[in-house]
């Protein structure tokens, strides 16, 4: 590819005999030269080697500007989408005078509706879905939606539509009235200036020639089916100072004398001065169409460019960029081929005039549009209309600059574009058929099933069934003799456990198969009935061809109702799919507790098996209560400060539109995972009460505080903050290498250091003595269960799956990023396992399955931080280094006489710290901007050309987590040690906690069978003594 050079519209790029026209270029019909159609960079790309046409392709690439972003303190305009008991959700449409280009969500909480009598606020009497509200941004909230406030007189509902479809008129601070029916509805009304209220019933028109002679008059538009010939009405001014008429100066309601209803007098409305209302009426049976003429609308477009000669040149820099984008949208692509030679050249010249900020030339060229539009074909009109619509949206996004001239241009271009683009009905079937659907309810969760969703669900069920079958086969292949030192009773216990797991996974397999088959059949049924449920152009032809305005109104109502219904259903389906995805991810993360239990049980000696299994149950149970009461509030209780959360204690005032109970369940599963890591470091020597205390404290305070810092939208180091990011990037710890693994590992480190090593772990010469676990089979089983759960741990941290990247309609979106995250997780773990396998073979001379399993888990712990922002090849590097980090920390622990039965501090603490550094080195720019959008140019990995700011933030996280956990868990373990509540006695440790603390062993050994049965013949050895025969000799059986 050649070096790019800047070109402007109309510049020659080459000849068509030598080059092919690509994006932003077109071929001149008169001389076969290739010209640029927009301002941008000229690039030439070589053709593929197998292409029959070996001409290079020349294209012009323009540049785009980013839209405004809501910030705390900015005034926004939003549309209410849902109203609940304590909150109302809204989509932000404008920030100040400029409309947004990305989707931003907002939340209006009950305490933020008004400044007084907060406890008496009724959300359903303050807002309705579809209301347009003016609000101020308080904060980013929970990183998914902005917190908005209407607690000022000038904030609140500025536009609302009644059930009759009319724009409602404000009559007090809390009431609005329908001008058609007189119905009064409750609202939190904003008191705004007169020129800010635009009703749908009354509109002032000063653009067209027919109204230039009638400036200052108002035209009333009403359904023609209810109209009679009326004389112009004059309304006298009747001033009122009644408190109930606070909004009379904004009321544009006029009672119709044609209505058959009795006049209502609950609220008297007055106009501030006499107004004359000329009616433009058409009888319902009139052959004259109410549709506007395209030439009239194009004339309005021409008139809207009647601007001062220096208007465009005086625009601010950001609006000049928007004007360039409008020029790009107007003339992009083969404009001459689509719109014809004369109109195409006019549009190219007009776009160039916009880019040069030449207002006079723009006005001259725009005046030609009405004449050119009359001679266009249907296809050319449709293409011209689409270009006007695209450019009109750009002008609309420029906001209320000056006296609103840009908005007049946007309105005129949008109206003309809509009419022209609908002038041609394509004979090819472009219509999207209406799907046959069925609504499935799971409590408060609703999911609409269509043919496409049913097929996708069937595919997911099929894959899940295969995974369940493979896991069941793996469990079944475990030999019965794998439990060392165990008798038949122990094997019976193992068989029972294996049978339970087999039943679980085999039943999951069959349920997945039946579900997949049912969804396939359901999808086929829906597909077969789609033909009878479609709404095509032929269905609308009778309505379009009729001259009756009643049918035109019916058509508009029909289309609006369908689009509104489809939009609501898509929104509901999106929330249902996202919540279902998060719930299943939470289930997978919780299943890791079973993996931890199996891993811990196999890694300790048989005499402590029951104890370690019970502690894993305790972590989940105690962690659930503490996280419910305090932990979740400390972690995600927004709005809050940068250190700790302050809301949602005991889930009060929860859920919200941006997070549901599924989010709480998912975060609880993370919290107990951190506690489970710690329990492995202090296994085989810790009192049971110490587990209760540290587990509740860790999940209720220590871990939530750390997760608030790095995962909450208010956290001081969070990458999701709206402003004041740490080093301009924030900390990227996507799934918790630091938040989960380092917290659990460092907590276990201090517990093991204060307790000291197990008895017999080091001999009198301080040499290491291996105290191997009793079952390698349980270790392998636990490792595979953890591996399976990690696919909910890392990919599930996206929280949502139905999110597109870009304009939509493509194959690439958040679902693809989730797949990439699963791949990077797999690559890191597998690379670490293989590296550990061969490294330990070189170091100790044999293949050790326990070391391989720990290496695998170390790779998973390391990649957890950057799994979503790195390439798969980088994950291989992460896993390779993680294996050596684990080996190195194990050697260091042996030299320092540090005893950790599961290597938890080395594995989770050491490999977790390496994972944070790895993210600061290898995070790619594109993936960082996808996962953390809204801030272009965010720093990324040092080795990927992003500088060292992200790496610096990651180092800060390592130091802060190490310091925080040391300052909280270290003193806790020390106090427990001084109170003699931490470590068990030497006798109990020697005998094993299963026997001394839990009433018996987990396994029944041969030498511990029931001795109550008296043997038929037994000989004893009697030693002569001065007293009675030795008791020991009497009770010691000898072999005959």
Whole-angstrom Cα distance, residue 535 to residue 990?
Answer: 79
Structurally, at CATH architecture level, domain 5-61 sits in Beta Barrel (2.40)
How distant is the alpha carbon of residue 225 from its chain centre? 48
How distant is the alpha carbon of residue 745 from its chain centre? 29
Confidence of residue 667 (pLDDT cuts 50, 70, 90): very high
Q: Is 34 helix (H, G, I), strand (E, B) or coil?
A: strand
Q: Given this model, what pLDDT does residue 906 score?
A: 93
Q: Given this model, what pLDDT does residue 556 score?
A: 63
Q: Is 118 helix (H, G, I), strand (E, B) or coil?
A: helix
Whole-angstrom Cα distance, residue 972 to residue 968?
Answer: 7
Average pLDDT on 502-513 reads: 75
- In DSSP terms, 109 is beta-bridged to 87
| 8 Å CB contact between 915 and 878 | yes
Work out the number of other CB atoms within 10 angstroms of the CB of residue 2: 11
Cα–Cα distance list, 620 to 589, 599, 695, 972 (Å): 12, 16, 9, 20
175-177 and 184-186 beta bridge pairing? antiparallel
Whole-angstrom Cα distance, residue 10 to residue 361?
Answer: 15
Q: Is the pLDDT of residue 202 over 50?
A: no
352 vs 507, higher pLDDT? 352
Q: Is the pLDDT of residue 431 over 80?
A: no
Which range has the worst mean pLDDT, 123-127, 758-762, 1012-1016? 1012-1016
Confidence of residue 64 (pLDDT cuts 50, 70, 90): low
User: If you search the block for the tokens 């140019």, which residue do you land on?
Assistant: 937
Phi-psi region of 855 (alpha: psi -120 to 50; beta: other; left: phi over 0): alpha
Q: Given this model, what pLDDT does residue 657 score?
A: 63
540 vs 430, higher pLDDT? 540
Q: What is the pTM of this model?
A: 0.52
Q: Given this model, what pLDDT does residue 366 score?
A: 84
Q: Is the pLDDT of residue 554 over 80?
A: no
Residues 200-216 as b/e (b if ≥16 CB within 10 A, e otherwise) read ebbeeeebeeeeeeeee
Confidence of residue 434 (pLDDT cuts 50, 70, 90): very low
Among 152, 155, 140, which residue's Cα sits nearest to residue 78? Answer: 155
Whole-angstrom Cα distance, residue 976 to residue 623?
Answer: 19
User: If you search the block for the tokens 């400060």, which residue do you land on?
Assistant: 641
pLDDT tens digits for 818-868? 999 999 999 999 999 999 999 988 888 888 899 999 999 999 999 999 999
| 8 Å CB contact between 343 and 384 | yes
Whole-angstrom Cα distance, residue 983 to residue 756?
Answer: 9
| 8 Å CB contact between 312 and 328 | no
Whole-angstrom Cα distance, residue 740 to residue 671?
Answer: 7
779 vs 254, higher pLDDT? 779
Average pLDDT on 546-555 reads: 55
Average pLDDT on 998-1010 reads: 64
Ranges assigned E (strand) in 357-464: 438-442, 445-449
Q: Is the pLDDT of residue 181 over 90?
A: no
Whole-angstrom Cα distance, residue 336 to residue 326?
Answer: 18
246 vs 609, higher pLDDT? 609
Cα–Cα distance list, 787 to 507, 825, 858 (Å): 21, 9, 11
Average pLDDT on 227-242 reads: 36
Confidence of residue 196 (pLDDT cuts 50, 70, 90): very low
Confidence of residue 558 (pLDDT cuts 50, 70, 90): low
Confidence of residue 673 (pLDDT cuts 50, 70, 90): very high
| 8 Å CB contact between 160 and 178 | no
Among 759, 749, 686, 805, which residue's Cα sits nearest to residue 961? Answer: 749
Q: Given this model, what pLDDT does residue 441 score?
A: 47
Among 716, 719, 756, which residue's Cα sits nearest to residue 734? Answer: 719
Q: Given this model, what pLDDT does residue 628 score?
A: 94
Domain ranges for the chain:
5-61, 294-421, 438-472+488-572, 573-800+821-978
Q: Name the DSSP class of 722.
A: S
Q: Select, from the ranges 381-385, 632-636, 990-994, the one with the highest average predicted confidence (pLDDT).
A: 632-636
Please return the burial class of 290, using the count of CB atoms within 10 Å of its CB with bins 0-12, 13-18 and 19+.
Answer: middle
Average pLDDT on 14-18 reads: 85
Whole-angstrom Cα distance, residue 881 to residue 876?
Answer: 9
Average pLDDT on 638-648 reads: 86
- Write down how long the chain is: 1040
pLDDT tens digits for 257-287? 333 333 334 333 333 334 333 333 333 333 4
Phi-psi region of 215 (alpha: psi -120 to 50; beta: other; left: phi over 0): beta
Among 739, 747, 757, which residue's Cα sits nearest to residue 967? Answer: 747
Q: Given this model, what pLDDT does residue 423 score?
A: 54
Q: Is the pLDDT of residue 669 over 50?
A: yes
**612: Cα within 13 Å, side-chain hemisphere:** 31
Which range has the worst mean pLDDT, 45-54, 688-697, 976-985? 45-54
Whole-angstrom Cα distance, residue 788 to residue 777?
Answer: 17
The fraction of the chain above a pLDDT of 90, given in percent, is 30
Instruction: Confirm whether 5-61 and 573-800+821-978 share one CATH topology.
Output: no
pLDDT tens digits for 792-831? 999 999 998 888 776 555 567 888 899 999 999 999 999 9
> CATH assignment of 573-800+821-978?
1.10.3430.10
Q: Is the pLDDT of residue 1017 over 70?
A: no
Confidence of residue 84 (pLDDT cuts 50, 70, 90): confident
Q: Is the pLDDT of residue 748 over 60?
A: yes
Q: Given this model, what pLDDT does residue 487 score?
A: 57
Whole-angstrom Cα distance, residue 244 to residue 184?
Answer: 13
Phi-psi region of 442 (alpha: psi -120 to 50; beta: other; left: phi over 0): beta
Structure tokens at 549: 């305005």
User: If you search the block for the tokens 């309601």, which residue do you land on?
Assistant: 253
Q: Is the pLDDT of residue 584 over 80?
A: yes
Mean pLDDT, the chain, rounded, equals 77
Work out the number of other CB atoms within 10 angstroms of the CB of residue 280: 9
**818: Cα within 13 Å, side-chain hemisphere:** 21
pLDDT tens digits for 676-727? 999 999 999 999 899 999 999 999 999 999 999 999 888 999 988 877 788 8
Average pLDDT on 607-636 reads: 92
Whole-angstrom Cα distance, residue 1006 to residue 675?
Answer: 36
**Pairs from 42-47 (Cβ < 8 Å, separation ≥ 24):** 42/4, 42/5, 42/6, 42/7, 42/13, 43/1, 43/2, 43/4, 44/1, 44/2, 44/19, 45/1, 46/1, 47/20
DSSP 598-632: HHHHHHS-GGGHHHHHHHHHHHHHHHHHHIIIIIH
Structure tokens at 730: 């924030």
Q: Is the pLDDT of residue 1014 over 60?
A: no
Q: Given this model, what pLDDT does residue 384 score?
A: 83
Among 24, 26, 31, which residue's Cα sits nearest to residue 6? Answer: 24
57-61 and 20-21 beta bridge pairing? parallel
Whole-angstrom Cα distance, residue 613 to residue 691?
Answer: 12
Confidence of residue 15 (pLDDT cuts 50, 70, 90): confident
pLDDT tens digits for 944-955? 998 899 999 999
């Amino acid at each position: 590819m050649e070096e790019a050079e800047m070109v402007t519209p109309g510049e020659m790029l080459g000849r068509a005999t030598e080059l092919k026209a690509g994006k932003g270029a077109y071929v001149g019909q008169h001389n076969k030269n290739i010209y640029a159609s927009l301002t941008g960079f000229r690039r030439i790309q070589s053709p593929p080697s197998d292409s029959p046409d070996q001409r290079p392709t020349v294209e012009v690439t323009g540049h785009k500007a980013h839209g405004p972003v809501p910030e705390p303190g900015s005034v926004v305009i939003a549309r209410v989408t849902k109203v609940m008991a304590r909150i109302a959700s809204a989509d932000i449409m404008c920030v100040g005078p400029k409309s947004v280009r990305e989707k931003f969500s907002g939340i209006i909480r009950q305490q933020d509706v008004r400044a007084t009598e907060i406890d008496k606020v009724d959300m359903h009497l303050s807002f309705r879905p579809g209301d347009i509200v003016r609000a101020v941004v308080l904060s980013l909230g929970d990183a998914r939606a902005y917190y908005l406030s209407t607690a000022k007189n000038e904030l609140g509902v500025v536009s609302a539509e009644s059930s009759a479809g009319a724009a409602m008129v404000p009559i007090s601070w809390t009431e609005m009235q329908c001008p058609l029916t007189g119905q009064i509805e409750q609202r939190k009304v904003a008191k705004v200036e007169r020129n800010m209220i635009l009703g749908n019933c009354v509109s002032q028109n000063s653009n067209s020639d027919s109204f230039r002679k009638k400036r200052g008059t108002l035209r009333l538009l009403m359904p023609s089916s209810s109209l009679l010939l009326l004389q112009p009405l004059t309304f006298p001014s009747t001033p009122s100072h009644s408190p109930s008429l606070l909004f009379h100066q904004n009321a544009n309601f006029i009672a119709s004398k044609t209505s058959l209803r009795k006049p209502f007098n609950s609220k008297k409305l007055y106009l501030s001065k006499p107004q004359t209302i000329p009616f433009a009426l058409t009888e319902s049976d009139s052959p004259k169409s109410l549709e506007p003429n395209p030439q009239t609308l194009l004339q309005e477009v021409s008139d809207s460019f009647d601007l001062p000669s220096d208007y465009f040149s005086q625009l601010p820099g950001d609006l000049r960029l928007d004007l360039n984008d409008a020029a790009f949208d107007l003339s992009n692509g083969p404009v001459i081929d689509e719109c014809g030679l004369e109109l195409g050249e006019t549009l190219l010249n007009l776009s160039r005039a916009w880019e040069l900020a030449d207002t006079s030339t723009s006005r001259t060229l725009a005046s030609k549009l009405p004449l050119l539009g009359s001679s266009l074909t249907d296809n050319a009109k449709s293409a011209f209309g689409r270009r006007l619509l695209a450019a009109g949206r750009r002008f609309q996004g420029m906001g209320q600059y000056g006296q609103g001239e840009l908005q007049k241009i946007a309105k005129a271009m949008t109206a003309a574009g809509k009419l022209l683009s609908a002038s041609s009905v394509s004979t090819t079937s472009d219509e999207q058929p209406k799907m046959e659907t069925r609504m499935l309810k799971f409590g408060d969760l609703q999911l609409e099933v269509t043919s496409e969703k049913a097929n996708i669900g069937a595919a997911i069920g099929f894959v899940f069934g295969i995974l369940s079958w493979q896991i069941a086969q793996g469990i079944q292949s475990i030999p019965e003799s794998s439990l060392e030192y165990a008798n038949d009773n122990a094997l019976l216990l193992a068989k029972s456990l294996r049978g339970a797991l087999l039943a679980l996974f085999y039943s999951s397999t069959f349920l997945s198969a039946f579900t997949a088959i049912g969804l396939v059949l359901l999808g086929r049924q829906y597909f077969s009935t789609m033909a009878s449920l479609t709404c095509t152009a032929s269905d609308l032809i009778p309505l379009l061809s009729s001259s009756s305005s009643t049918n035109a109104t019916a058509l508009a109502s029909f289309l609006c109702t369908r689009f509104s219904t489809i939009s609501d259903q898509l929104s509901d389906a999106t929330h249902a799919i996202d919540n279902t995805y998060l719930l299943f991810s939470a289930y997978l993360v919780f299943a890791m507790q079973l993996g931890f239990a199996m891993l811990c049980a196999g890694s300790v000696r048989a005499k402590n098996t029951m104890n370690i299994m019970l502690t894993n149950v305790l972590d989940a149970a105690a962690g659930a209560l503490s996280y419910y009461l305090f932990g979740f509030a400390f972690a995600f209780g927004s709005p809050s400060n940068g250190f700790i959360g302050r809301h949602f204690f005991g889930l009060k005032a929860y859920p919200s539109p941006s997070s549901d109970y599924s989010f709480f369940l998912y975060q609880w599963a993370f919290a107990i995972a951190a506690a489970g890591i710690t329990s492995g470091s202090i296994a085989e020597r810790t009192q049971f009460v110490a587990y209760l205390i540290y587990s509740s404290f860790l999940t209720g305070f220590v871990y939530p505080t750390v997760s608030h810092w790095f995962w909450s939208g208010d956290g001081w180091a969070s990458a999701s903050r709206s402003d004041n990011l740490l080093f301009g990037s924030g900390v990227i710890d996507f799934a918790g290498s630091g938040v989960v693994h380092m917290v659990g590992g460092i907590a276990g480190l201090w517990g093991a250091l204060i307790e000291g090593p197990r008895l017999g772990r080091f001999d009198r010469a301080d040499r290491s003595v291996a105290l191997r676990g009793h079952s390698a089979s349980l270790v392998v089983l636990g490792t595979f269960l953890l591996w399976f759960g990690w696919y909910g741990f890392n990919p599930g941290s996206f929280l949502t799956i139905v999110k597109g990247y870009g304009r939509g309609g493509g194959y690439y979106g958040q679902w693809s990023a989730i797949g990439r995250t699963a791949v990077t997780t797999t690559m890191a773990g597998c690379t670490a396992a293989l590296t550990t396998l061969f490294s330990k073979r070189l170091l100790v001379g044999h293949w050790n399955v326990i070391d391989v399993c720990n290496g695998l888990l170390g790779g998973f712990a390391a990649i957890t931080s950057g799994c979503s922002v790195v390439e798969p090849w980088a994950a291989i590097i992460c896993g390779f280094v993680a294996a050596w980090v684990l080996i190195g920390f194990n050697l260091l622990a042996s030299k320092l006489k540090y005893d950790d039965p599961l290597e938890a501090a080395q594995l989770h603490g050491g490999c977790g710290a390496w994972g944070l550094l790895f993210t600061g080195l290898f995070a790619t720019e594109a993936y960082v901007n996808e996962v953390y959008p809204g801030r272009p140019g965010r720093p990324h990995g040092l080795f990927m050309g992003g500088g060292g700011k992200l790496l610096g933030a990651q180092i800060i996280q390592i130091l802060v987590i190490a310091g925080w956990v040391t300052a909280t868990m270290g003193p806790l373990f020390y106090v427990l040690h001084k109170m003699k509540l931490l470590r068990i006695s030497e006798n109990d440790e020697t005998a094993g906690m299963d026997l001394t603390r839990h009433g018996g062993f987990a396994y029944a050994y041969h030498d511990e069978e029931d001795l109550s049965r008296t043997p038929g013949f037994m000989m004893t050895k009697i030693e002569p003594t001065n007293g009675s025969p030795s008791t020991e000799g009497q009770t010691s059986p000898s072999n005959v």
